Amino acid sequence: MQLADQLRQARSTKDILLMTHLVLGYPSFAVNREVIRQMVANGVDVIELQIPFSEPMADGPMIIKANQESIANGTKVADCLAFAAEMAGQYDIPFLFMTYYNILFKYGVKEFLTKATEIGIRGFIIPDLPPEEGAEYLRLTRELGLAPIQIFAPTSTEERMRTLAGHGNGFIYCVARRGVTGSKTEFDASFDDYLARCRKATDLPLAVGFGISNRDDVRILTGKADLAVIGTATIKLVEEKGAEAVGSFIAGLRG
């Protein structure tokens, strides 16, 4: 089943889906493993696995620190692939890779996408690869049945949104505000107008991320988006309270 169809099916039984994000190898793969176990046990629908990169330009201070520390601890792309294979084999939810284009370029785009398909990855979020520069990537994802997830921003014109949606699949990642990940997002009338423009531009499910950090945020998005994306909040929680705090946090986000 295509990722978009799987998400629509899941959405038919839930008011909103939850997607979480973690940086592979931070603080360790052992902690990643426990965090994912608790996320899945408490109802997370999609997990975004970030392959660390030295200059994660779309990310805020917390995720930049996680990327840098993971790399400093010796995390390699091969380690991330092996870990992702283990998780995708163990849990029956979609796993995605999020990273930057240089990782694919250095590995070999075809080789990387083929390997990802073989281990059960369902799609990719590559923030620094616009479709105009990603012809090979887009062609290969279509051939391999992977979802090349595209990103809308509040600054995107309606024409740009339609162009991006035409190249995308799986879902559209709607960045909730300008800037990088981690800062608080204000949900006001301009945000509602933005989401209405997003909805008009595509029939793909809409995921909203950047600054979604608690139950109130998820409640506000319910009925407006299909997926709420929790990223920095869980990374910060693990750093402050340990992996064991993740389960109850995730369980409290919905309902």
Which of the residues are catalytic? 48, 59
Residue 174 CB coordination number (10 Å): 29
Tokens of 219: 């409640």
Helices 135-144 and 109-119, interaxial angle, to 10°?
30
* CB distance 46 to 96 below 8 Å: yes
* CB distance 210 to 225 below 8 Å: no
How far apart CA 123 and CA 60 sit, in angstroms, is 23
CB-count exposure of residue 64 (10 Å: 0-12, 13-18, 19+): buried
- What burial letters (b/e) apply to 82-111, b meaning 16+ CB within 10 Å? ebbbebbeebebbbbbbbbbebbeebebee
CA proximity to 56, closest of 69, 73, 68, 47: 68
Tokens of 200: 């008009």
How far apart CA 253 and CA 44 sit, in angstroms, is 10
Bridge partners, residue 148, by sequence: 124
